[in-house]
Amino acid sequence: MNLPRPSKLLTKMRSGQQVITYKLNSSCPRIAEIAAISGFDGIWICQEHVPTDQSTMYNQILAAKACDCDCIVRVAKGCYSDYIRPLEADASGIMIPHLMSLEEAREIVHTVRFQPLGLRPVDGGNADGLYCMLDFKEYIRFMNQNRLIIVQIEDPEPLSQLDQICQLDGIDMIFFGPGDFSHAIGHPAEFDHPEIHRVRKLVLETAHKYGKLAGTVSLPGMRQCLAEGFDLVNCGADVAAIANNCQTIIQEFNALKN
């Protein structure tokens, strides 16, 4: 029997390997293909801050899958369809931004996991269910075991319940977002602030204490994040690469004129 593609990110991390991802802000699937060909373990597609519609997302997932690369979709916070459509498009996982409480974490599990963990609405007629060619029960079993559910800690509010959140079945990874967290504590972009360091360490240690994976972005740097023990680190973004390249060219051009 044919099965959907398992998550390489989950397979690697469950075996103790660390992985890196690359974030897409653009709508072009060729950027996903370039990152995948280059050797990234996964692509981070954003629907929280970027006008990436469902069709664009689907084409980016297809481009990455063609190169045997995972896609994680950071969803927009909305109705249950916003959470499950990336999974039905065969994303390897989703990331939910700004988790605020244990209650919300429980609702996420209820929405995105099948029985016995939750009550995710079942279709099976999309890419993740092999377009109705996958047995109903096998579809439910496979998706519960092979899709990555990530919640982001970006605010002080959920920290008092972090231990309980990290014990919740159905959540795979706790992801610390330093940008929004610095903003939330009134010290925007002050990434050396003691509270940033404290919470980064707290998220990492609490996640690992309860057998969860821990992720973050490459601040202060990839080397340090990996040395600290983060399982997944996002390193770079397409818009940053293009901006840096444009600025370098303009600086060189201006220097030649002087």
Distance between CA atoms of residues 67 and 63, nearest Å: 7
pLDDT of the residue at 3: 83
Neighbours of 45 (CB within 10 A): 26
**Is-contact 24 45, C-beta < 8 A?**
yes
Does this model's pTM top 0.85? My answer is: yes
Phi-psi region of 90 (alpha: psi -120 to 50; beta: other; left: phi over 0): left
Average pLDDT, 10 consecutive residues per value, the chain (258 residues): 89 98 97 97 97 96 97 94 97 98 98 97 95 95 97 98 98 98 97 97 98 97 97 97 97 93
Helix ranges restricted to H, 113-235: 136-146, 162-166, 178-184, 194-209, 222-228
pLDDT of the residue at 253: 96
Distance between CA atoms of residues 130 and 163, nearest Å: 37
The DSSP bridge pattern shows strands 70-74 and 213-217 to be unpaired
Q: How far does CA 248 lie from the centroid of its chain?
A: 30
Is 113 in a helix, a strand, or coil?
coil
Is 255 in a helix, a strand, or coil?
helix
pLDDT of the residue at 246: 98
For 203, residues 6+ apart whose C-beta sits below 8 A from its C-beta are 153, 162, 174, 176, 214, 216
The residue type of 133 is M
**Is-contact 190 218, C-beta < 8 A?**
no
